[in-house]
């Protein structure tokens, strides 16, 4: 909420980037919390199903958001986009206050213990290695997100209202990928699915490197 409101009133580039960083921390925590609730609420097999389901739902956000944002810019100033996000943040905050804590034991954990547990987790190889792989995979998507406006809007002169439709291909790929992974977990183990997906990501990364040097 603070980040979105700060974006509205930013007058210099560094202020806008700082506001976007704050906004990203808040938005990122929301995605993590939703996955943590599933982790707390379901056992292994059910958990995989609902994780795939919510990831598919999350895939609709990059599909809808650019189209919706393009419409806002078409009729209003760009600041209205962040005003809408601030309202979404307020509604999310209200919902968080309403729902029950899914991890009951956290009510008795102090902030000091929470930070100590976090430090142990991020230093453990069983966490850090999959996290790095996942981060590198997502990095390619965010490179596209940051570079595509310059390429499509600046170089190819595509209108903001049409930008979302060009952007939709990646969102559809995320949705389809999650749907396929969800189906594959019923046939193969989650480790096999993760290994296969990582291999495909590696092949894709090599292809992108080769294409970028042509």
Nearest alpha-carbon partner for 81 in 14, 151, 150, 19: 19
- Is pLDDT above 90 for 4? yes
- Is pLDDT above 90 for 7? yes
pTM beyond 0.75: no
Lowest mean pLDDT among 7-11, 52-56, 114-118: 52-56
Return d(Cα 94, Cα 76) in angstroms, integer: 27
Return d(Cα 195, Cα 202) in angstroms, integer: 11
Return d(Cα 203, Cα 114) in angstroms, integer: 38
Per residue in 104-159, pLDDT (tens digit) is 777 677 788 888 888 888 888 888 888 888 888 878 777 877 777 778 878 888 87
Return d(Cα 185, Cα 79) in angstroms, integer: 43
Lowest mean pLDDT among 44-58, 70-84, 132-146, 194-208: 44-58
Per residue in 13-26, pLDDT (tens digit) is 999 999 999 998 88
Per residue in 69-99, pLDDT (tens digit) is 777 877 888 889 999 999 999 998 998 888 8
Q: Is 69 exposed, middle or buried (0-12, 13-18, 19+ CB in 10 A)?
A: buried
Count Cβ atoms below 10 Å from residue 7 Cβ, excluding itself: 23
Query: Which of 79 and 64 is assigned the larger pLDDT?
Result: 79
The secondary structure of 130-164, three-state, reads HHHHHHHHHHHHHHHHHHHHHHHHHHCCCCHHHHH
């Amino acid at each position: 909420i603070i980040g979105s409101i700060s974006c509205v009133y930013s007058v210099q580039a560094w202020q806008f980037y700082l506001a976007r960083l704050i906004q990203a921390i808040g938005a990122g925590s929301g995605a993590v919390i939703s996955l943590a609730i599933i982790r707390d609420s379901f056992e292994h097999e059910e958990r995989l199903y609902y994780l795939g389901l919510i990831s598919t739902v999350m895939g609709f956000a990059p599909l809808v958001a650019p189209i919706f944002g393009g419409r806002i810019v078409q009729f209003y100033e760009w600041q209205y986009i962040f005003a809408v996000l601030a309202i979404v943040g307020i509604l999310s905050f209200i919902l968080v206050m309403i729902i029950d804590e899914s991890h009951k034991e956290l009510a008795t954990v102090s902030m000091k213990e929470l930070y100590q547990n976090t430090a142990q987790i991020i230093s453990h190889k069983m966490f850090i290695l999959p996290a790095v792989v996942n981060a590198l995979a997502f990095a390619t998507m965010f490179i596209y997100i940051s570079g595509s406006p310059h390429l499509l809007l600046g170089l190819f002169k595509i209108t903001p209202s049409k930008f979302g439709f060009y952007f939709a291909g990646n969102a559809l790929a995320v949705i389809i990928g999650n749907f396929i992974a969800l189906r594959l977990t019923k046939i193969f183990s989650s480790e096999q699915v993760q290994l296969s997906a990582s291999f495909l990501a590696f092949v894709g990364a090599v292809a992108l490197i080769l294409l970028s040097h042509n």
